[in-house]
């Protein structure tokens, strides 16, 4: 029968993550202040702090003089507990990157590589990951023994191919055991939607709110949905595919094979198509790179470019309204190239449109913001790797992480 | 900071509801079998059973001989613990109904009334509810002192008017204290979307699954989203307004004021408009009552009616795909007039379309079914009233219920 019921073990797990995240947000704190910040009882916080101290994930900093009462022991994350590494695999650009973080998710070093021969098969990807990971660890002067976990950020959204003719990421899903053997390190794979939601929970909007939606606007578009502080995974870990919800029935052909998806209007190629509709033959539309197209669109002084951005803002407002209507979040954060290059310009129209179109008072207290995180995908996958380590030592329960 | 964190009190609350629902499903059971059915530990079940016994919500039935081991004590819901009443207010049809249930949600009696002068102001509604409630209790031979709670089922979706010119339901929201004073009974109000999801959790699809979506197809359309056994309410209790997500950008005008909403294609008036597009001037389109229109459409032997049903099935499949993409449920149940009159005919197309259009393997294990409940709205609001009673005696925490 029911297998997904929450148990008190899950609650302990959530409390540990909550306290850990609150301590990361504060930098240094005390048991009492963590109780205030998290809303957990002082008893729960004390228990959780003991658990985290035992595993060396946080550390005591000696007596902290309080303005009232006796001095209490300070606490802070133990940055030197080890290192976590985020790895980003961009098949289209044949680009790989690895970033090393300390155990409080502070960035230490980055290594990048462009693979001339492309990333078309699993062997090339695995070899590339090995190289870029090694280079990043060297730059961070990190020992392999210090690595608590490696997170691989892989677009794709779901386990099975999304009818998109991109072989390599799926190949990685299929060859994950081999990757783990080659690296000799704990490996976890997650898609950008869920990694970014995790980043917001650890270091961004999720520090202050428990109902958040993190929207990615890049080549693909999608959402991470967090309800009551927990990421919505769905029954087969496929939730969040907002990019493949309807924007217009029988509308533009999406690369997933369906017609009228949100992504066909708000993905990079969708925005290019909007430009082509507004100004057929416009030179910008011929720009082959998606990232470069978006950057050029943002910089273009022309009227057609401005109209394209404006129309895209209306499309975005309309499509975000669907998320407001369905899950009624407190905040929506935007990230990805489109958010970076065009976000601030689009926000006024987006906010107005969402406020006007959302049902009832669903958007009355809603904030729509560009993500405050500089690299949410990478930070998120590092946070996922850290959560995975916390799972391996028994601090968090498995259901919060993908089953690999 | 965070106010919505789950605590161990919430988990106890969820465990009590889980055991209570499992016992309702089984009719009669034992602590051991409840542990098997719910996946909870025998220790948790024993504690929960003691709590429920203490409040008289369940009762022991004496020794049950097991095929192995010593006989154990049987358990069953205590139907005579009291009565709960569901009240349905249909402003459009100026129709009121009250149904009395025993404490295991068995139906005892129904009373109905049509108000000639209409339901245009709060006084008329309050007076009407008083009358119909009194009549239903009389028919059930129930004493007012036995009433554990009254649930009022009110369309509207959100607290603030959804830009729909219907005054009375909002009037009720505003005059709830007065209604409670007049009735002299505990009153809880909920919208049909959330009430139906609660009904499925207590007596329907939610007995076997924890990730479900309950879709209502009537004058309005909407969804109740249940993740891990918990109803998604959102930050201001407005989640589930699937009817006001996009079907076609800039498409048909919806009665909410927005263009292109799902409801403008799948609500009763939307289906009527589809018929009018397929067969302008078709006599069925002039049928004034929405329910009668849907019933007549189902019974019509004509080609145009069949085409309308077929096109509506395609629309429904496309729109349900959005729910699959976003929240990835195990089951979607359909209820409401359209589901009742046209559901079985539409299901083959709906299922095929959802399977084809859902991203990745999100729909691989998905079931789409007509709700097995005969009156999910009424049963649901009665279940909400029962939950409210369980809250009042301290068995469940407040966050699971609306804040009124």
Give the structural domain span for B395: 81-195+380-400
Residue-wise pLDDT for A121-130, tens only, equals: 778 888 999 9
Q: Which of A3, A14, A242 sits opposite B326 (nearest CB)?
A: A242
For residues A60 and A74, the answer to whether their CB atoms sit within 8 Å is yes
Q: Please report the ipTM that was assigned to this predicted complex.
A: 0.88
Chain A segment 214-233 residues within 8 A of B by beta carbon are 223, 225, 227-230, 232-233
Q: Check: CB of residue A69 under 8 Å from CB of residue A33.
A: no
Decide if B217 contacts B398 (C-beta within 8 A).
Answer: no
Instruction: Provide, as residue numbers in chain A, all residues whose Cβ is less than 8 Å from the Cβ of B236.
Output: 328, 361-362, 364-365
Q: Which of A140-149, A164-173, A192-201, B207-216 has the lowest mean pLDDT?
A: A164-173
Do both B253 and B335 map to the same domain? yes
A317-A323-A324-A328 Cα dihedral, nearest 10 degrees: -160
Q: Choose the final residue of a domain: B77, B97, B113.
A: B77
% of chain A with per-residue pLDDT over 70: 90
Mutation choice for A interface testing from B155, B261, B325 by most A CBs within 10 A: B325
Please indicate, yes or no, if residue A388 is contained in any of the structural domains. Answer: yes
Name the pairing type of β-strands A83-90 and A95-102. antiparallel
Is residue A8's pLDDT more than 70?
no
Structure confidence by residue, pLDDT tens digits, A308-328? 999 999 999 999 999 999 999
**pLDDT bucket at A160, cuts 50 / 70 / 90:** very low
pLDDT of residue A13: 80
Of B5, B36, B359, the CB nearest to A238: B359
The reply to whether A145 touches chain B by the CB within 8 Å rule is no
B26, B44, B77: which is the final residue of a domain?
B77
Residues 67-126 of B with CB under 8 A from A: none
Cβ of B27: how many Cβ atoms within 10 Å? 9
A1 is a domain residue: no
- Condensed to tens digits (0 to 9), the pLDDT of residues A21-45 reads 889 888 899 999 999 888 888 998 9
The pLDDT averaged over each successive group of 10 residues in chain B (404 residues) is 55 84 90 89 91 94 70 90 93 87 95 83 87 96 94 64 43 74 90 92 84 94 91 90 97 94 97 97 90 95 97 98 96 96 98 94 94 93 93 73 38
Q: Give the pLDDT score at A224.
A: 96
B403 and chain A in contact, CB less than 8 A: no
Cβ separation A223–B326 shorter than 8 A: yes
Question: Of A76, A39, A42, which Cα lies nearest the Cα of A208?
Answer: A39
State how many domains chain B has. Answer: 3
Q: Record the tokens describing residue B278, joined without a space.
A: 């397929």
Tell me which of B240, B362, B366, B368 to substitute to probe the interface with A (most A C-beta atoms closer than 10 Å).
B362
**CA-to-CA distance for A310 and A273, rounded, in angstroms?**
14
List the single residue in B with minimal CA-CA distance to A193.
B326
Tally: H helices and E strands in chain B: 13, 12
CA distance B200 to B196: 6
Which residue is closest to B363 within chain A, CA to CA? A236
Q: Suggest the residue from A231, A261, A267, A362 to mutate for an interface test with chain B (most B CBs closer than 10 A).
A: A362
A131 shares a domain with A45: no
Q: Identify the pLDDT of residue A370.
A: 96
3-state secondary structure of A78: coil
- Same domain, yes or no: A363 and A255: yes
Residue B379 burial (CB count, 10 A): 24
Q: Does A319 touch chain B (CB under 8 A)?
A: yes
What pLDDT is stored for residue B242 in this prediction? 97
Boundary (domain end) residue, out of A47, A77, A107: A77
With CB atoms and an 8 Å threshold, state whether A318 touches B38: no
With an 8 Å Cβ cutoff, are B246 and A160 in contact?
no
Contact present, A111 and A135 (Cβ < 8 Å): yes
**pLDDT score of A119 more than 70:** yes
- The whole-number pLDDT of residue B63 equals 78
* Distance between A392 CA and the closest CA of chain B, angstroms: 23
- Read off the CATH number of the domain in which A382 is found: 3.30.420.40
Is residue A174 in a domain?
yes
Q: Residue B295 falls within a domain, yes or no?
A: yes
Whether residue A315 lies within 8 A of chain B, CB to CB, comes out as: yes
Q: Do B247 and A242 touch (CB under 8 A)?
A: no
Task: Give residue for tokens 């028919």.
Answer: B139
User: If you ran DSSP here, which 8-state letter would residue A226 be given?
Assistant: E
A172 and A257 together in one domain:
no
How does pLDDT run across A244-258, given as a tens digit for each residue?
Answer: 999 999 999 999 999
pLDDT at position B158, please? 37
Alpha-carbon distance of B164 to B92, in angstroms, equals: 12
Residue B2 lies in a domain: no
Instruction: Return the residue of B nearest to A328 by Cα.
Output: B234
Query: Residue A5: what pLDDT?
Result: 56
The model carries a pTM of 0.89
B367 and B223 assigned to the same domain? yes
Q: Does residue B71 sit in the same domain as residue B86?
A: no
**Chain B residues close to A7, C-beta within 8 Å:** 11, 40
Q: Give, as one character, the DSSP assignment of residue A58.
A: E
Which of B11, B230, B328 minimises the CB distance to A235? Answer: B328
Does A106 or B9 have the greater pLDDT score? A106
User: Is the Cα dihedral A275, A281, A284, A289 positive or negative?
Assistant: positive
> DSSP string spanning A243-271?
GGSBSBTT-SBPTTS-BSBTHHHHSHHHH
**Same domain membership, residue B73 and residue B85:** no
Average pLDDT over residues A70-95: 88
Query: Residue range A59-86: average pLDDT?
Result: 85
Give the integer Cα–Cα distance in Å for B325 and A56: 40
What are the residues whose beta carbons fall under 8 Å from the beta carbon of A27, sequence distance 6 or more?
Answer: A76
| Cβ pair B161:A360 closer than 8 A | yes
Q: Is residue B176 domain-shared with residue B92, that is, in the same domain? A: yes
**Best interface-test mutation with A: which of B35, B201, B246 has the largest number of A CBs within 10 A?**
B246
In whole angstroms, give the CA distance from residue B79 to residue B102. 5
- Residue B200 included in any domain: no
- Residues A267 and A247 sit within 8 Å (Cβ to Cβ): no
Q: What is the CATH number of the domain that holds A39?
A: 1.10.10.10
Helix (H, G, I), strand (E, B) or coil at A281: coil
The full DSSP string for A126-176 is HHHHHHHHHHHHHHTT--GGGEEEEEEE-TTSSSS--S---HHHHHHHHTH
Size of chain A in residues? 404
> B354 to chain A: nearest residue by CA?
A258
Match 């081991």 to its residue by tokens: B69
Helical spans, DSSP H, in B1-121: 8-26, 31-38, 42-54
Residue A118 predicted with pLDDT over 80:
no
B92 plus B138 within the same structural domain:
yes
Write the CB contacts of A398 (distance below 8 Å, at least 6 apart in sequence). A391
Q: Is residue A2 part of a domain?
A: no
DSSP H or E run through A391: helix A376-392
Separation in Å, CA of A374 to nearest CA in chain B = 23
Give yes or no: residues A68 and A99 share one domain: no
User: Are A39 and B365 within 8 A, CB to CB?
Assistant: no
The alpha-carbon gap from A391 to the nearest alpha carbon of chain B, in Å, equals: 19
8 Å CB contact of A241 and B359? yes
Query: Do A268 and A246 belong together in one domain?
Result: yes
In chain A, which residues have their Cβ closer than 8 Å to the Cβ of B3? Answer: 39, 210
Contact B160 A11 (CB under 8 A): no
Same domain, A126 and A171: yes
Contact A223, A215 (CB under 8 A): yes
Is A200 within the bounds of a domain? no
Element (H, E) at B222: strand B221-227
In tens, the pLDDT along A273-297 reads: 999 999 999 999 888 889 999 999 9
Report helix, strand or coil for B276: helix
Long-range contacts of the stretch A172-180 (C-beta < 8 A, 24+): A172/A89, A172/A122, A172/A125, A172/A126, A174/A122, A175/A122, A175/A126, A176/A404, A178/A122, A178/A126, A179/A126, A179/A129, A179/A152
Q: Which residues have a Cβ under 8 Å from the Cβ of B38 and sit 6 or more positions away?
A: A1, A2, A5, B15, B18, B19, B22, B45
């Amino acid at each position: 029968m029911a297998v997904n019921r929450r148990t008190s073990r899950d609650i302990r797990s959530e409390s540990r993550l909550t306290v850990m995240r609150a301590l990361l947000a504060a930098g240094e704190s005390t048991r009492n202040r963590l109780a205030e910040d998290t809303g957990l009882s002082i008893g729960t916080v004390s228990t959780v702090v003991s658990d985290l101290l035992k595993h060396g994930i946080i550390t005591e900093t000696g007596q902290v003089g309080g303005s009232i009462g006796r001095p209490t022991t300070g606490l802070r994350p133990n940055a030197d507990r080890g290192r976590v590494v985020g790895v980003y695999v961009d098949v289209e650009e044949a680009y790989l990157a690895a970033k090393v973080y300390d155990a409080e998710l502070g960035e230490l070093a980055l290594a990048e590589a462009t693979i001339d021969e492309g990333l078309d098969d699993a062997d090339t990807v695995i070899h590339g990951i090995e190289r870029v990971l090694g280079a990043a660890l060297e730059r961070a002067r990190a020992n392999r023994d210090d690595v608590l976990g490696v997170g691989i950020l892989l677009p794709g959204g779901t386990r099975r191919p999304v009818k998109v003719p991109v072989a390599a990421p799926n190949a990685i899903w299929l060859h994950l055991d081999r990757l783990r053997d080659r690296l000799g390190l704990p490996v976890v794979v997650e898609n950008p939607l869920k990694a970014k939601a995790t980043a917001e929970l650890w270091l961004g909007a999720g520090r202050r709110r428990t109902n958040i939606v993190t929207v990615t606007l890049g080549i693909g578009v999608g959402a991470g949905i967090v309800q009551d502080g927990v990421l919505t995974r769905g029954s087969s870990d496929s939730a969040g595919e907002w990019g493949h919800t309807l924007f217009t029935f029988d509308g533009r052909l999406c690369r997933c094979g369906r017609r009228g998806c949100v992504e066909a209007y708000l993905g990079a190629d969708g925005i290019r198509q909007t430009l082509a509709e507004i100004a057929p033959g416009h030179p910008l539309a011929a720009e082959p790179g998606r990232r470069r197209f978006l950057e050029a669109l943002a910089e273009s002084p022309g009227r057609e470019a401005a109209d394209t951005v404006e129309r895209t803002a209306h499309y975005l407002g309309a499509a975000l309204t669907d998320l407001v209507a369905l899950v009624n979040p407190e905040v929506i954060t935007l990230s990805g190239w489109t958010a970076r290059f065009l976000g601030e310009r689009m926000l006024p129209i987006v906010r107005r449109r969402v406020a006007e179109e959302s049902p009832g008072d669903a958007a009355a207290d809603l904030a729509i913001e560009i993500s405050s995180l500089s690299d949410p995908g990478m930070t998120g996958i590092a946070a996922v790797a850290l959560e995975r380590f916390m799972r391996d030592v028994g601090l968090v329960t498995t259901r919060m992480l993908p089953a690999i």
